[in-house]
Amino acid sequence: MYYFRWLLGFLHLLVWGSIILVHAIPPPDPVQCNRTICTLSNSYGAWGDRKDCSVKSVVYPTTEEELRSAVAHANKNKLKVKVVSQFSHTIPKLACPSSLGHHDSLLISTAKYDSSIEIDSVNLAVTADAGVALRDVIDKVEEAGLSLAAAPYWEGVSVAGMISTGAHGSSWWGKGGAVHDHVIGLSMIVPGNESEGYAKVKQIGAQDQLLNAAKVSLGILGVISKVKLSLERGFKRSITYNFTNDSSIENNFMEHGKKYEFGDITWYPSKHTAVYRYDSRVPMETPGDGINDFLGFQSNEILISKSVRASEKLFESTKSVNGECTLADTTLWYKKQIGNGLKNNGQIFTGYPVVGRQGKRQTSGSCLYSPKTRIDASCAWDPRIKGLFFYE
């Protein structure tokens, strides 16, 4: 009973806090330097091996030529080099140049290499600098009356980081839900010999046999400098979530994927619940200007994030099955009440279906965009607040 009353109070705070919440403190910069060394962290504050990633120096190129020069410097001086974006939302230690120490390493950040987004409306394509944020690409594409068909659910990624790590959405239709399946060209900076200035830019087109290897290369073949993605004419999507019993999930998932272009299924086995997303494209003239502001990616009151983590630890340490189940019930109930973050008019959820443009539905991450003046809220997993944590 104590747990139930506490959770009701917590839920009341969560509901009303979420309604008035607008901004939060932005995520920390993944690269922090002092006078002698730089440290790379991911957005969760912990790598899988729980060890820091230390590097000797970090460079911030702003142009493709500056990026090439950085690779040339590393090649000429036999430095281990990796690339990181402005986000660093990866759990594996892919962006760390060396696990043995920082003395022979160089980190290249594309945080400032993000100025160019070129739309080719005739050929339905967009070309962007490696460090451009996914949200910036989507907004530019939508302004031109076009749409990017695939995107990961979390928008805190750069275009190069997104494709090179295999980030994906959900679709079996067309080219598929993985963003790299929509890449039709890229530029990659690779090591060169002395006569080539120790590094060169290689253009890889749609018909090049190297494209499949280069676009999901995890940063080991070279440094991606530009990415070219295929586009489609602008469209809207209609989304409905169906929270239902999971008894037939193994028989339904194939048909669900075939029936709905962007459908997915979220499974809560402990609650015997499956959430089917009925998600299909609809014509642009279909009424609706809804958005997808996924609950898990919204700004959270820091007090709430801390309380949730403390409660989870308490329930684990005391082996309280009732507490854990009540928390799960409460969370699932709340997601159902708010449409899991769908908003019909950009402000609140009023009912299904929720119709809106592709650019406002395919990805989300509102906790990313916030002024430093707001210090009482953040992304729920911000490592500075001891909120949510991913044990991997």
Domains of the chain: 2-25+235-378 (no CATH), 31-109 (3.30.43), 117-233 (3.30.465.10)
pLDDT above 70 (res 31): yes
Q: Which range is least confidently modeled, 12-16, 83-87, 173-177?
A: 12-16
Over residues 107-114, the mean pLDDT reads 97
Q: How far apart are CA 42 and CA 358, in angstroms?
A: 29
Mean per-residue pLDDT, 164-190: 94
What is the reported pLDDT for 21? Answer: 44
Euclidean distance between CA atoms 150 and 181, whole angstroms: 9
Q: What is the mean pLDDT of residues 372-392?
A: 84
In this prediction, residues 128-137 reach a mean pLDDT of: 98
Angle at 160 between CA 155 and CA 165, to 5 degrees: 80
Q: Report if pTM > 0.85.
A: yes
Using the predicted structure, report yes or no on whether residue 355 has a pLDDT greater than 90.
Answer: yes
The yes-or-no verdict on residue 165 having pLDDT over 60 is yes
pLDDT, residue 17, reads: 47
Determine the average pLDDT of the residues in 186-206.
Answer: 97
Give the Cα separation of 111 and 101 in Å (integer).
Answer: 24
Tell me: pLDDT of 346 over 50: yes
74 pLDDT more than 90? yes
Confidence bin at 15 (pLDDT 50/70/90): very low
Mean pLDDT of 253-274: 96
Instruction: Name the average pLDDT for the chain.
Output: 91
Does the structure show a pLDDT above 90 at 206? yes
